[in-house]
Copies of this chain bind each other. A is one copy, B any other.
Amino acid sequence: MVAPAVGLLTDLYELTMASSYLQLGANDTAVFSLFARKLPANRRMLIACGIEEALRRLEAFRFDTDAIEYLRSTDRFRPADLDYFARVRFTGDVWAVPEGAVVFENEPILEVRAPMIEAQLVETLLLNAVHYATAVASKGARCVAASNGRPVVEFGLRRTPGLEAGLIAARATYLVGFESTSNVLAGYVYELPVSGTVAHSFIEAFDTEADAFRAVGQTTRGRVTLLVDTYDTLHGVRSAIASMRDLRASGRRVSAIRLDSGDLDALSRASRALLDAAGFGDVRIYASGGLDEMAIDRLVSAKAPIDAYGVGTRLAMASDAPVLDMAYKIVEYAGQPCLKLSDGKSTLAFPKQVWRRLGEDGQYAEDILGLRGEPPPTGAFHPLLERVVLRGERCAPVLSLAEQRAQHAAEIARFQHYRSIEGRDKYPVGISDALMTAHRRAVASVRRREGLLRNGIRLEHSPPG
């Protein structure tokens, strides 16, 4: 979902910095790295997502006439700045991990190499594309892991931050293995499977719950699910059973009942017993209602007889970890390393590559974060980042969502030990000797900087007075 004027999808300071750089004639090549500084307490991995959208935004990046006129009206820019904005396109290179890749802290999700001004101007639109999608995909992947093979359905749209976020969430959760979404617009836009049952309001509009159930059965095309918790769940199950008998008499079959509140473990067992005793052993139980991966994990561990899960609100806002400490930081300018030493926000200098080692058991064993240019470490390592944009043009095949989904499934199956909800072991991520040595040298450089001239922008070369 690209904005009509994607250039304005930015923080003002990106534009004022561009003006400063233009005035200084300072527009050497810069490399920026987009990564998570730290994982949230309850995440052991992140699922990188939103990269495809980020790349689409780079392709669409421009300021249209209205945007230029708006910027002129702010009285913050020189005519030369506005001329630059009117012409600017993204002409740089991008390295990225695959959509749906497993990443850990400090590992670049993408790196941009471009003239400083372009690389800086796209900061906000890139972070904005990747942050939320990754937060939702990461939580979604945990729901899939917790459900342990049972279908999981996404229905967060009513509480996503706008319709665009609803599309992002539906796509991200499908990518990580959800079965379907309730979001019809996402079904349309991304060709996702859509599914749904009925709302409580439907039940409440009928004289009796049993009437409502019969109506659902008589009027629904495709699989019929009866929502049984409007007034009292087990009473609802009994009414559902009575309705199933009536429906069976007219040749219609109910696929499932849905529990949406209360003690889902106890209620699913009691419901299962009632259904089985009534000869409806083939009617499945679908559970929802404030669920997340922790709740699903508890239900699955307790062997609650639940056949499928619906997850909505908590996914829509990635509610236990809504914010990832994700940043887009300069790591090189004019061939020289850049870094930040701020309290708790220091960054590793230099363009990077992530090397991932497959163990002999077919599971990933470790990652090594290295300089992009250094030779691969010895062993069964493969690189995670690939060049996907060269001089502003896509230069790698664009996979379909189905292909990305299959690729994610294959990848995450090799992190079996680190997927579980309860586990605490940290996946090992090392830093190569070459990166560590070079970074330390860069830090020392900065610390000595008052006496030091790096090959950065020198003010004496700059025009303004």
Seen from chain A, the residues whose Cβ lies within 8 Å of a Cβ on chain B are: 1, 3, 5, 8-17, 19-20, 23-24, 26, 30, 32, 66-67, 70-71, 74-78, 116, 120, 123-125, 127-129, 131-132, 155, 157-166, 168-169, 182-185, 187-188, 194-202, 204-209, 211, 214-216, 218-222, 229-233, 250, 260-263, 289, 313-314, 316-319, 322-324, 326, 328-330, 333-334, 338-345, 446-447, 449-450, 452-454, 456-459, 462, 464-465
Chain A, interface SS category? mixed
Nearest CB of B to A182, in Å: 4
* A157 B128 Cβ-Cβ under 8 A: yes
Closest to A128 in B: B158
Chain B residues within an 8 Å CB radius of A220 = 16, 19-20
Alpha-carbon distance between A241 and B204 when the two chains are bound, in angstroms: 69
* B219 A24 Cβ-Cβ under 8 A: yes
Nearest CB of B to A312, in Å: 9
* B261 A344 Cβ-Cβ under 8 A: yes
Nearest CB of B to A178, in Å: 14
* A120 B262 Cβ-Cβ under 8 A: no
Nearest CB of B to A328, in Å: 8
Q: Assuming A74-B194, A182-B11, A187-B74, is B314 touching A323 (CB within 8 A)?
A: yes
Nearest CB of B to A87, in Å: 18
* A11 B208 Cβ-Cβ under 8 A: no
- Interface hub of A9, A66, A209 (most chain B Cβ within 10 A): A9
Q: Assuming A75-B221, A128-B166, is B216 touching A20 (CB within 8 A)?
A: yes
Alpha-carbon distance between A64 and B195 when the two chains are bound, in angstroms: 21
Nearest CB of B to A95, in Å: 18
* B30 A205 Cβ-Cβ under 8 A: yes
Chain B residues within an 8 Å CB radius of A222 = 75-76
- Interface hub of A71, A157, A169 (most chain B Cβ within 10 A): A157
A sample of 16 more A-B contacts (CB under 8 A), given A161-B168, A261-B344, is A1-B163, A12-B187, A19-B219, A20-B202, A24-B215, A120-B202, A129-B162, A131-B161, A161-B161, A201-B330, A207-B453, A211-B459, A215-B459, A261-B345, A262-B343, A289-B345
* A219 B20 Cβ-Cβ under 8 A: yes
* B317 A188 Cβ-Cβ under 8 A: no
* B158 A338 Cβ-Cβ under 8 A: no
Chain B residues within an 8 Å CB radius of A204 = 330, 333, 338-340, 456
- Interface hub of A16, A158, A452, A454 (most chain B Cβ within 10 A): A158
* A465 B250 Cβ-Cβ under 8 A: yes
- Interface hub of A160, A197, A229, A447 (most chain B Cβ within 10 A): A160
Can you report 6 residue pairs joining A to B where beta carbons are below 8 Å apart? A11-B158, A26-B205, A123-B199, A160-B161, A161-B164, A261-B343
